[in-house]
Amino acid sequence: MALQFGMSKSKMAIGEPEASKLWIHCNSCCDLFAEKKSVFFLLACHHVFCKRCVKAAVGHTPSDAPIFDCPICRRSVRGRQVGNTMPNHIKQFFHPEPYALSNDFIETFQRGNHRHFDKYKEKKELEMDKLNKDIEVAKSVCQKRFMEAQMLRVERKKLSQRSQHIKLQVSNQQAEMKRIIQAKVNRSLEPSSTQESSIRGRNRVRGPSQSRGSSKDSSRSPLAKRNQVTSFMHQPNHSFNL
């Protein structure tokens, strides 16, 4: 259908006078003569080729018709360029109304070219159908992959949020552990500080009495030093001989 639509578009582009020539095509690459992209040749074996698909053999004189090697029947045959310069009996092969001619061979020639071009169109239609199916399959696969990618994006976002939440919990736990350790350290240091504070408190309470006692001790210290026995007592020296 798409190829027929393309053919109808080519008819509109070519014009109605050229529409009757759409069956004239290269029997090898199926390029159309009406598009006038290349020079066409009709060979004596009744095959039509464009200039790109057939090559002239070497050795013919310029006055003679060129000799070509036919790619289909593999014969070296003469050929004529398709156009108004062809002799009239050869030009009849491309008559727009072959059924009006008395020569059945011309109608057979054109019918054979029509069948060949129809096979080419059917082949291209099958290729296009296959391409359309492949496109639909690729489209469905792409849609499936897109949905999977969307799901993976959502899952990634959830995992990212979960990771941030876990990091926050870990940081809070670490801060709590540091706080507990610091509290334990502070509790272990509390007895010594309390002892020091109690000693300081006692010293503050006993301060005046101790000062009085110290003054008494200072006043009594000379007498105490005199009364303190440090060695044998020395009696008056009354020397005598034994």
Task: Give this prediction's pTM.
Answer: 0.55
* Whether pLDDT at 45 is above 70: yes
Contact 81, 39 (CB under 8 A): yes
Give, for 158, the enclosing helix (H) or strand (E). helix 104-205
What is d(CA 206, CA 199) in angstroms, rounded to the nearest whole number? 10
DSSP string, 76-87: EEEEEESSTTS-
Match 């105490």 to its residue by tokens: 224
Which among 68, 87, 78 is positioned nearest to 28, based on CA atoms?
68
Helix-, strand-, coil-residue percentages of the chain, each rounded to 5:
65, 10, 30
Those residues whose C-beta lies under 8 Å from the C-beta of residue 202, and which sit 6 or more positions away, are: none
Task: State the pLDDT at residue 203.
Answer: 61
- How far is CA 96 from each of CA 17, 19, 91, 93, rounded to the nearest angstrom? 10, 10, 11, 9
What is d(CA 40, CA 29) in angstroms, rounded to the nearest whole number? 12
Is the pLDDT higher at 54 or at 201? 54
Radius of gyration from C-alpha coordinates of the chain: 62
pLDDT band at 131 (very low <50, low <70, confident <90, very high): very high
What is d(CA 33, CA 20) in angstroms, rounded to the nearest whole number? 11
Task: State the pLDDT at residue 143.
Answer: 94
| Interval 154-207: pLDDT, tens | 999 999 999 999 999 999 999 999 999 998 888 888 765 556 666 666 666 555
Give 49's DSSP letter: E
What is d(CA 160, CA 166) in angstroms, rounded to the nearest whole number? 10
* Whether pLDDT at 27 is above 90: yes
Beta carbons within 10 angstroms of residue 161's beta carbon: 10
What is d(CA 198, CA 214) in angstroms, rounded to the nearest whole number? 22
